[in-house]
Amino acid sequence: MIEELKSVGLAFPRWQDALETAYSSGQLFVSGEVRGGQVLQYDDASGARLVVMAVEPFGTFASYFGGVSTSAHVSMVDDIIGVIDVVDDSPALQTSGQQAPVVASVAATIAQGPMLSDEPPLEYQQVQVSALATSVEVFTDPSMLTAAGITGTPGTIEATGLTDLNSGSTSPHASASIVVETSAVGRRTNQLTGQQFWACSVHAPFDFTLLIPADVADIASLAIDDAGAPRSLIIAGQVQFTATVVDAPGCGGSGGCGSGGCGCGGH
């Protein structure tokens, strides 16, 4: 199975199988046009998303929408991969005209990437960042990390996709290693397949949603301690980051934010 698809309830052995199933649903729609071709998208009621670039260089990736938003700068590397610099923005900084500090940076697939690749970088843009689990472990206590041979502390992201991008050692990708703590967990059911997956809220080092295949662990049970009280979980392992750019308030027209028809965020 393709793990990033499985993390949003689309457990298929081939990308083609996922595409054919989305097409047969009648809910695949055109989300944009670029270089004379189309960008197609399937949005599931569970939040699962498939993005299909039906024009050269062609490509398909899984994503997620409806999660928590965070403020970030977005710079596209190519049609699919972008660099997200998450910033600690605040009304006080906006009023004073000061630049918000960057708290974390990752490479991610961007749902609107094909339409943004020829546009200037977006600044202070609301972005829904998600991480698709490809190989993770679940722990109920930070002390268990050492026993498992994990050296990172909760709130740690090693953005290997960004590191490799800066070194030029490989093609752009959105991989990362994480050790994070959940603040809330919920079960989702993909309406297209009936498959379940977990959506976990993470607040450190920044706000994002972590999506995990249902068969990794019974996360809902683990998130309740022996006394019946809710507890945070520690998730460690490999993920693929993905993001959806949220239109800035006042961005009208069919192009949306970044189309050249409106301003996007900014101080």
Would you say residue 258 lies in a domain?
no
Q: Are 172 and 162 in contact (CB under 8 A)?
A: no
pLDDT at 247: 78
Instruction: Encode the chain (267 residues) as per-residue pLDDT tens digits.
Output: 799 999 999 999 999 999 999 999 999 999 989 888 899 999 999 999 999 998 888 889 999 999 999 999 999 999 999 999 999 987 777 677 778 899 999 999 999 999 999 899 999 999 999 999 999 999 999 999 989 999 889 999 999 999 999 888 789 999 999 999 999 999 999 999 999 999 999 999 999 999 999 999 999 999 999 999 999 999 999 999 999 999 733 333 333 333 333 333 444
- Strand, helix or coil for residue 164: helix
Amino acid (one-letter) located at 204: A
Per-residue model confidence as pLDDT tens digits over 138-176 = 999 999 998 999 988 999 999 999 999 988 878 999 999
| pTM, rounded to two decimals | 0.90
Would you say residue 265 lies in a domain?
no
Would you say residue 16 lies in a domain?
yes
pLDDT at 262: 35
pLDDT at 252: 38
Per-residue model confidence as pLDDT tens digits over 40-66 = 999 999 999 999 998 888 889 999 999
Would you say residue 266 lies in a domain?
no
pLDDT at 15: 94
**Structural domain count, the chain:** 1
Rg (CA), the chain: 18
Would you say residue 260 lies in a domain?
no
Would you say residue 10 lies in a domain?
yes
Q: Sign of the C-alpha dihedral, residues 214, 220, 223, 226?
A: negative
pLDDT at 71: 94
Tell me the C-alpha distance between 199 and 133, whole Å: 10
Long-range contacts of 88-94 (CB under 8 A, 24+ apart): 89/124, 93/267, 94/267
pLDDT at 57: 82
Match 């520690």 to its residue by tokens. 234
Would you say residue 47 lies in a domain?
yes
Tell me the C-alpha distance between 138 and 159, whole Å: 20
Q: Are 161 and 61 in contact (CB under 8 A)?
A: no
Amino acid (one-letter) located at 203: H
Strands 175-189 and 81-87 turn out to be unpaired
- Kindly report the number of other CB atoms within 10 A of residue 229's CB atom: 8
pLDDT at 56: 85
Give the range of the structural domain holding residue 33, as residue numbers without chain letter.
Answer: 3-243
Would you say residue 64 lies in a domain?
yes
- Kindly report the number of other CB atoms within 10 A of residue 252's CB atom: 9
Nearest to 180 by CA among 137, 129, 225, 128: 137
Q: Are 67 and 199 in contact (CB under 8 A)?
A: yes
Phi/psi-derived region of residue 36, left when phi > 0, alpha when psi is between -120 and 50, beta in every other case: left
- Kindly report the number of other CB atoms within 10 A of residue 193's CB atom: 18
pLDDT at 156: 96
